[in-house]
């Protein structure tokens, strides 16, 4: 009989014990005899009782809820992270409250997270506003910026080594004879973009080169399409492009092949960042920088869980190593193959 609501009181009555006993039977650490626990569990099963997490959260002050904030899911980086993060948190007994942000309603969203008494916040988007990040961090709740970094904020952060990734790409391109190297930026005020770009520029400099040209794609497919067209509108065209993430790189490759009828990598080399699954697909075979998904998720959950358990919010900034994934979108010198 699927009754509307079964409470611990109902179970207590059936088992002829106190409500406290029922509560204890369902809490791991509590002081109950085995016989009592068995008796309660039996009655609970009979009634289909499940403890009410809302009531539990209220009395214990532990909602076991983690808010995850994402701006969009069309760049595959985020679904992958979200899936792994969600699984990891579930394993640790937490649950994910998912929030999508529009640039317009960000403050509102933070308020809503707070109302649900979440015990931690993960902000997983390169394009979230810094003020929002700061606002979250001021709540006294552990906040982890995943794939994002705000120096002035007390929020922890987990990123890959974006600058080093940019440097690796620069070295790859210069080592292999590219001379007119362009960059397509993501969001210009995101830390991922500035780090990737500055690392890239420093790498070019080390090789005695300068950036040939530059355009901005704002991390969107459409923006990248337009940016690619701009780069090739000039008289002298680039022979290599570093695109600030894979999602944009696909758009760039499409423009180059289908609109400009150039070959990759024979006419233009393309490198991306993220190593999203599509990068390995036959249609693209994109040479890119790997983001260490699993370690990033692991670090994020660890920071959160540690801070929740110890009730101390200390800022931690984790930067994880990246590495190149060489496929066939960058032309290599014969000897280096």
Partner DNA sequence: CAGCATCTTGCATACGTAGTCAAGCCGTGG
Partner DNA sequence: CCACGGCTTGACTACGTATGCAAGATGCTG
Q: By CB under 8 A, name the binding residues for a copy of itself.
A: 2, 4, 50-55, 57-58, 63, 68, 72-74, 76, 78-80, 82-83, 86-87, 90, 95-100, 102, 109, 111-112, 114-117, 138-140, 221, 250, 253-254, 257-258, 277-278, 281-284
| Closest by Cα among 215, 207, 209, 204 to 237 | 215
Cβ(136)–Cβ(110) below 8 Å: yes
Q: Give first-to-last CA distance, the chain, whole Å.
A: 69
31 binds, among a copy of itself, DNA, none (CB under 5 to 8 A by kind): DNA
**Shorter beta-carbon distance to DNA: residue 41 or 56:** 56
Give the C-alpha separation, 224 to 24, whole Å: 58
Residue with tokens 């994402």: 70
The secondary structure element, H or E, covering residue 108 is helix 106-115
Q: Is the dihedral of CA 253, 258, 259, 265 positive or negative?
A: positive
Q: Which does 17 bind (CB under 5 to 8 A by kind): DNA, a copy of itself, none?
A: DNA
Does residue 41 interact with DNA by CB under 7 A? no
**14, 23, 253, 289: which one contacts DNA (CB under 7 A)?**
23
Q: What token pair was written down for 260?
A: 């400009």
CB of 17 to DNA, least distance (A): 4
Cβ burial, residue 84 (10 Å; 0-12/13-18/19+): middle
Closer by beta carbon to a copy of itself, 182 or else 264? 264
Nearer residue to DNA within complex by CB, 27 or 202: 27
Q: Which does 87 bind (CB under 5 to 8 A by kind): a copy of itself, DNA, none?
A: a copy of itself
Applying CB under 7 A, does 21 fall inside the site for DNA? yes
Q: Residue 277, interface with DNA (CB under 7 A)? A: no
Which of 272, 246, 291 is CA-nearest to residue 146? 291
Give me the least distance between CB of 268 and a copy of itself, in Å please: 14
| Burial class of residue 258 (count of CB atoms within 10 Å of its CB; 0-12, 13-18, 19+) | exposed
Judged by the rule CB under 7 A, the positions of this chain that interact with DNA are 5, 7-9, 16-21, 23-24, 26-27, 30-33, 35-36, 49, 51-52, 55-56, 58-61
């Amino acid at each position: 009989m699927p009754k509307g609501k079964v409470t611990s009181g109902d179970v207590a009555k059936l088992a002829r014990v106190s409500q406290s006993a029922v509560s204890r039977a369902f809490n791991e650490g509590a002081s109950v005899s085995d016989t009592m626990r068995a008796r309660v569990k039996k009655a609970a099963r009979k009634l289909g009782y499940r403890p009410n997490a809302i009531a539990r959260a209220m009395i214990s002050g532990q909602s076991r809820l983690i808010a995850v904030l994402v701006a969009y899911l069309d760049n595959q980086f985020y679904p992958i992270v979200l899936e792994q993060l969600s699984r990891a948190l579930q394993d640790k007994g937490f649950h994910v409250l998912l929030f999508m942000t529009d640039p317009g309603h960000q403050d509102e969203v933070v308020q809503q997270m707070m109302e649900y008494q979440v015990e931690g916040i993960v902000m997983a988007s390169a394009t979230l506003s810094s003020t929002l990040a700061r606002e979250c961090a001021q709540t006294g709740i552990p906040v982890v910026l995943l794939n994002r970094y705000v120096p002035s904020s007390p929020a922890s952060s987990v990123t890959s080594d974006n600058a080093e990734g940019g440097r690796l790409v620069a070295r790859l391109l210069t080592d292999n004879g590219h001379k007119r190297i362009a960059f397509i930026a993501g969001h210009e005020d995101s830390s991922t973009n500035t780090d990737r770009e500055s690392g890239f520029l420093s790498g070019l400099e080390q090789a005695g080169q300068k950036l040939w040209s530059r355009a901005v794609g704002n991390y969107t497919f459409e923006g990248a399409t337009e940016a690619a067209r701009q780069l090739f509108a000039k008289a002298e065209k680039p022979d290599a492009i570093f695109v600030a993430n894979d999602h944009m790189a696909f758009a760039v490759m499409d423009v180059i092949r289908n609109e400009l009828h150039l070959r990759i990598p024979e006419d233009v080399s393309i490198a991306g960042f993220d190593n999203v699954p599509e990068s390995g697909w036959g249609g693209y075979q994109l040479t890119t920088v790997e983001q260490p998904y699993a370690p990033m998720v692991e670090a994020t959950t660890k920071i959160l869980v540690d801070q929740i358990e110890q009730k101390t919010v200390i800022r931690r900034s984790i930067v994880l190593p990246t590495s190149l994934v060489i496929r066939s979108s960058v032309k290599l010198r014969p000897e280096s193959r």
